[in-house]
Structure 1
Amino acid sequence: MYAERPFPGLACLWRRTTDVAAVGRVVPDGCTDIIYSTATGELFVAGPDTVGHVTSMGPGTLFGVRFGPGVGPAVFGVPAAELRDLRVPLAELWGPSPALADALHSAGDPCAVLAAAASARLRETPPDPAVGAIASAVPTTTVGDLAWSLGLSARQLHRRSLAAFGYGPKVLHRVLRFDRAVKLAWAGVPFADIAHRTGYADQAHLSREVRDLAGVPLGQLIRP
């Protein structure tokens, strides 16, 4: 069972519970997460992914807070590129935090504990102010035009994109477009319409991108 709920300043809070060992596929979405496992007590960061990967989970519950594209690195204190395609213990980024561990262990709602800790960090070190402009403009403009609009050189834009998102602008474009396509597919939109609405040349182009980024065809990816 998987469920999300909104939280101000974050992409969402989420919870995943399984009664038996299970496997799933995690695919790129431009986001980063802090995840807490009640079964093992592990507390770790999921960095921005560039490809899909299969993950296994034993019986138990995972609680997570998800940061929108470009937001997480301000909380973690390291450039997003250093976390790309990695799962890193939170203690390696924040240092040991017995108080946080104790609060999570005793909490009725571990997501609320994680969200409070993340929000406090965001107040101390907010994201790069260019994050929103880069993420929203990437699908609709060239790298050169985007850099000019932000008063940056193309090299500066690339460097700031790596630090905030873990990707350069071109890869960020691919990932965010793919994420929009997957959300539409889950909503039941026909694949040909998805290709048109998200800017792929045609359905074949959509299919190639999904295979490259997820590792499986779109129909298999959204299969219950």
Structure 2
Amino acid sequence: MGLEVESRASGSPYIERVWRSRSHGVERMMSVAAAQWDLVFWEHRGQMSVAVHGPEPAASQAPVPEDATFFGITFSLGSSMPHLPVDRLVGRGVDIPDATHRSFWLKGSTWHVPAYDNAEAFVERMVREGILDRDPIVAAVLDGAPPELSDRTLQRRFVTATGLTRGAVRQIERARQAAVLIKDGVPAHDVIHRLGYFDQPHLARSLSRFIGRTATQLGTRDMPEPLSLLYKT
């Protein structure tokens, strides 16, 4: 019973993660903060739905439909659909209309619903048809290349491409890494040292804001509700 989640990495520079899940006997989950946006498909009671979910700047509770199946593509930082700017999607989602089990409507065209194993081909078509873009400056900075722009210009490009500041992205990613380490059994004091937190209260505030759980709760299997997708970044 709960929320079964499976995910995999991708070789596409536009994709951060591909995931799928199924719900059983759970009414809500803790949606942890995420710097990336998702394209999500789900089936519930014979009805197919599609939506774009923007970055989540903080953890929040989210309802989970009973006995539903989900499939999603989490896009890499810097990837965006120009007709749906990421900076306008932070903390919210946009439903895509006219979805069936076979197709849905996206920017004036009919698209076949992708699957867990062919997400890359679907995204390649998005790129070819100009629906998906990626800011090369943001991508280069995330890969560690020194920027050739002023800090002000870079910050503006970063917010436009990701919806978040570089500082916010770093805080979210660090909190997610901390949560994964603690769930894997790493002691909190080691996590503080590894990830550069100042002290225990600093880690506690970060986990509470971005994960919605304390270190103690993360270290136990008996949590009040499941967490959304966590993976090593």
The TM-score by the shorter chain falls in which range? 0.7 to 0.9
Where in structure 2 are the equivalents of 1:40-189 lying within 5 Å? 40-58=47-65, 59-71=67-79, 73=80, 75=81, 77-90=83-96, 94-95=106-107, 97=109, 99-100=110-111, 103-104=112-113, 110-112=115-117, 114-123=119-128, 124=130, 125-137=132-144, 149-189=146-186
TM-score (norm 2): 0.77
Deviation at 1:209, TM superposition (A): 1.3
CA 1:163/1:49 → structure 2, altered by over 3 Å: closer, same or farther? same
How big is the shift at 1:15? 0.9
Displacement of 1:221 in angstroms is 4.7
Q: Is the 1:34–1:114 contact (alpha carbons within 8 Å) kept by the matching residues of 2?
A: no
Matched AA of 1:213: F
Cα deviation code 1:135-187 (max 9, x no counterpart): 355xxxxxxxx9xx312122211111111221112212211221221222232
AA partner of residue 48 (structure 1): P
Of 17, 20, 43 in structure 2, the residue corresponding to residue 15 of structure 1 is: 20
- For residues 108 and 220 of structure 2, the distance between their equivalents in structure 1, rounded to whole angstroms, comes to 40
Cα-Cα RMSD: 2.6
Q: CA deviation at 1:50?
A: 0.5
Q: What is the DSSP-based 3-state SS (H/G/I as helix, E as strand, rest coil) of the residue aligned with 1:14?
A: strand
Find out whether 1:198 has 2:171 as its counterpart. no
Describe the SS at the equivalent of 2:136: coil
AA paired with 1:26?
S
Structure 2 distance, partners of 1:131, 1:91, is: 31
Q: How far 1:198 sits from its partner (Å)?
A: 0.9
Q: How many residues of Structure 1 are paired with residues of Structure 2 in the alignment?
A: 205
Gap regions ≥5 residues in structure 2: 99-104, 222-233
Select the residue among 192, 202, 205 that pairs with 1:208: 205
Q: Hey, what's the Cα distance between the residues in 2 that align with 1:191 and 1:70?
A: 32
Q: CA shift at 1:223, angstroms?
A: 4.5
Query: What TM-score do the two structures reach when normalised by structure 1?
Result: 0.79
- SS of residue matched to 1:180: helix
Q: Which shows bigger deviation, 113-122 or 46-55? A: 113-122
What does the per-residue CA deviation read over 1:39-88, in whole Å, with 9 as the maximum and x for residues that have no partner?
131101111110111112221101111112222x1x46433211101111
Once the 2 structures are TM-superposed, how far is the Cα of residue 4 of structure 1 from its aligned partner?
0.8
**Which of 28, 32, 37 is 2:37 aligned to?**
32
Larger fraction in helix: 1
* Partner Cα separation in structure 2 for residue 182 and residue 76 of structure 1: 32
1-structure distance, mates of 2:124, 2:156: 25
Amino acid at match of 2:9: P
The aligned amino acid for 1:131 is V
Q: Secondary structure at the match of 1:36?
A: strand
Separation in structure 2 between the aligned mates of residue 110 and residue 198 of structure 1, nearest angstrom:
35
Q: Tell me the amino acid that sits aligned with residue 20 of structure 2.
A: R
Q: State the shift of 1:11 in Å.
A: 1.8
